[in-house]
Amino acid sequence: MALVTVATAAAFGLAACGSSEGEKHGGEEIVVEGEPFEVGPLRYNVLFTRPLNRYDVEDREYLVGQPDAGSDELYLGVFVQIQNTDEEKAHRIPETFELIDTSGQRFENLETESIYRLNTGTLLGPGKDEPAIDSTPQVGPIQAAMLLYKVDDETLELRPVELEIPGEEEGEVVRAELDL
């Protein structure tokens, strides 16, 4: 029993090392989905990424107002949480978050009418969260706000696919490797 306890403690200790630090590649920080990280005063957690299907009961609400995807396209939902760590000043959530596949193809997040959408381009008040506490996306099945993308089918094969998150400062960028 003591050996199991020691092994478990060691595993947690190793898992905690660097959990909010990403690798640097070409001056950009690379983090993985599910690990919190900061871009300036905003703390992000890219919780979950998955293809969306308008014929699935849950997914219909994510795709409100979107046309059908083409025969060689699909919708991806990237679900994120953001916290303003600055207790004194509001900071703007970026308007555009780009997906990038290994071929270099870029996809911008789509405008959406979904109640689960991330409110891009808005000011996030001091110490506030997006999605807001007790809002539909925060208490929903994923407990995060959605960025919506329409991508080519082949993008799922061109992995890793990364979400590029710009900061407020010129050239400040972090990329989150998505688990697709």
pLDDT digits (tens, 9 = 90+) for 64-83: 999 999 999 999 999 999 99
Per-domain boundaries in the chain: 22-177
Q: Please state the rounded mean pLDDT for residues 19-24.
A: 48
- Structure confidence by residue, pLDDT tens digits, 115-164: 999 999 999 999 999 999 999 999 999 999 999 999 999 998 999 999 99
pTM over 0.95: no
How many whole angstroms separate alpha carbon 136 and alpha carbon 180?
A: 25
pLDDT digits over 43-63, tens only?
999 999 999 999 999 899 999
Instruction: Copy the structure tokens of residue 138.
Output: 């925060």
**Is the peptide bond prior to 51 cis by the omega test (within 30 degrees of 0)?**
no
The helix/strand count (H/E) of the chain reads as 3, 13
Model confidence at 110, pLDDT cuts 50, 70, 90, reads very high
CATH class of the region 22-177 = mainly beta
